[in-house]
Structure 1
């Protein structure tokens, strides 16, 4: 799993117990999955269709640095399914896992649209191929 983003847990991210609010970390996960899908599918019109069971495993507190990892599970015709792990950067303790997040590629009409992708692509490879052409 590749960890792409780091977040600092700030006072406004805390719940009444003084730990990272679950809703905040879920918003971070949703945003990270969307950004990953946008880059992979080369389309800014991406929406979240489904988020599977969310497993909260440990807490994070103010001042902790957390990192968000995304890994592709499968490419569908109009979708990309990923899983996610959020962990504490300092001790690598897992905070949250999500097994399946389905992101859907939309066309200009706002409806699901085939993306034509079948494997992970890296931007550096796309740039190299564009320069060769």
Structure 2
């Protein structure tokens, strides 16, 4: 699992129980999945089609630093399927896992479009290509 983004849990991110609001965390995961997909598929027209079961394992509180990890499960013809894990940066305790997040590549008309990708590519390797 590669952890790309860190978030600092602030007062505006909390629920009435004083812990990180699940909806806020899911929004952060969705954004991270979209950004990862945009970079991998080299297209800004990406939408979330599906999120599998979400497993909340622990909570985060104000002041915690969390990190969001994303990995590719597989590349489809028009989609990329990802998995995500969020953990507390300091304790390494898992906060949430999502096994499947399906992101779909769209054309300029908003229709699913083949992306032609079959493996993870890193931007540094694209830049070095002749």
TM-score (norm 2): 1.00
| 1:34 counterpart SS class | helix
Query: 1:51 & 1:72 partners in 2: Cα distance?
Result: 14
Unaligned runs of 5+ in 1: none
Equivalent residue of 2:109, what SS? coil
Map residues 11-22 of structure 1 onto 2, 5 A cutoff: 11-22=11-22
Corresponding residue of 1:70: 70
The superposition leaves residues 40-99 of structure 1 with CA deviations (integer Å, 9 ceiling, x where unpaired) of 000000000000000000010000000000000000000000000000000000000000
- State the partner residue of 2:55: 55
Counterpart of 2:7 in structure 1 is 7
1:93 — aligned with what? 93
1:97 and 1:104 map into 2 onto residues whose CA distance is: 20
Aligned length: 130
Aligned mates of 1:59, 1:125 — CA distance in 2: 37
CA-atom RMSD in angstroms: 0.3
Structure 1 runs of 4+ with >3 Å offset: none
1:109 shift after superposition: 0.8
Q: Mind listing any 5+ residue stretches in structure 2 that lack a counterpart? A: none
What is the alpha-carbon distance in structure 2 between the residues aligned to residue 75 and residue 122 of structure 1? 15
User: In 2, Cα distance between the equivalents of 1:23 and 1:91?
Assistant: 22
| Alignment of 1:122 onto 2:114 | no
User: CA–CA distance in 1 between the matches of 2:37 and 2:25?
Assistant: 18
